[in-house]
Amino acid sequence: MHLVVEHLSKKFGDNTVLDDINIEFTEGVYGILGANGSGKSTLMRILVTVLKPTSGKVILDGENIKKLDEEYRNLIGYLPQEIALYKSFTAERFLMYIASLKGLNKNEAKSKVSELLELVGLTEYRKKKVGTFSGGMKQRVGIAQALLNDPKVLIVDEPTAGLDPKERIRFRNLLSAISSNRIVLLSTHIVSDIDFIAKEIVILKQGKLIKKDAPDNLLGQLNEKVWTVLISEGELQQYQNKFKVGNIIRRENGIELRIISDTKPIETAQATIPNLEDLYLYYFDKETIL
């Protein structure tokens, strides 16, 4: 399966939110990485046909999705960044309701809903109201509703925001488990979410596609760009002003800084093995990593 984005642009008034994006997706998980406002949700909303592009097109296996229309929509599953769950519904009832909206008949819906409740680990909570669920449980209901039609293209927009680390890991494993034979697009600015599971990372910056590559290749490009440096307490501010600083670790003999820099920051700096957090910092300056 090939999902191709061709010369896609989106403007809201004068504001260019997506600028001539070209990407090709095949089966597997793609991590869409970008700071707030970089256009991740807009791209996803175009891919699920909630929004129309200003120009450009999206093509699935050679056919424009505009032409495929309903046929395309039947192939996609979507977990929006802010999903409206009906809080007074039980998990089971909510999923049955969405299943009916998606056109599943009652018997189909029943077996699919119990299969998905099991998959997302909510079988024993199926009769509990969604309003009483933790953030992680709500997101699992969200992913279950996105999977009701067994989508070939699954698009999940920042699914792990607000989840605790344990819930995040669980969610990541769940996505990984369901990613075979599907295109899965996952947006996030939490880099650990896509570590291990992403086949490729797509980096958006201010509406432009700046990188799309396998994590190892992207990390390879950071060789000799990530350094550890030992400094004294008094020098910390000066280093933070001058360099992109990642981790700051207090050691007995001073402060160890992780610095992202194209050139060696000082003579005593040691090159170190880059990770995805470094990658994020490299492209997004000092914006926070959660």
Ligand X SMILES: Nc1ncnc2c1ncn2[C@@H]1O[C@H](COP(=O)(O)OP(=O)(O)OP(=O)(O)O)[C@@H](O)[C@H]1O
Amino acid at 181: N
Report the residue number whose CB is nearest to Mg ion: 41
Please tell me whether residue 160 binds Mg ion under the rule CB under 5 A. Answer: no
Please tell me whether residue 34 binds ligand X under the rule CB under 6 A. Answer: yes
In the chain, what are the helix, strand and coil shares in percent, each to the nearest 5? 35, 30, 35
Distance CA 18, CA 45 (A): 12
Q: Which residues does 58 contact at the CB level (< 8 Å), separation at least 6?
A: 3, 4, 5, 6, 8, 46, 47, 64, 65
Partner from ligand X, Mg ion, none contacting 34, C-beta within 5 to 8 A by type = ligand X
Q: Going residue by residue from 57 to 96, which x/- string records binding to Mg ion, judged by CB under 5 A?
A: ------------------------x---------------
174 vs 186 by CB, closer to Mg ion: 186
Q: Residues 4, 42, 140, 284: which binds ligand X (CB under 6 A)?
A: 42
Distance CA 103, CA 84 (A): 19
Please tell me whether residue 209 binds ligand X under the rule CB under 6 A. Answer: no
Neighbour-count burial for 244-265, b at 16+ CB within 10 Å, e otherwise: bbbeeeeeeeebebbbbbeeeb
Q: Residues 9, 54, 74, 81: which binds ligand X (CB under 6 A)?
A: 81
Please tell me whether residue 38 binds ligand X under the rule CB under 6 A. Answer: yes
Please tell me whether residue 42 binds Mg ion under the rule CB under 5 A. Answer: no
**Binding stretches for ligand X (CB under 6 A):** 12, 17, 34, 36-42, 81
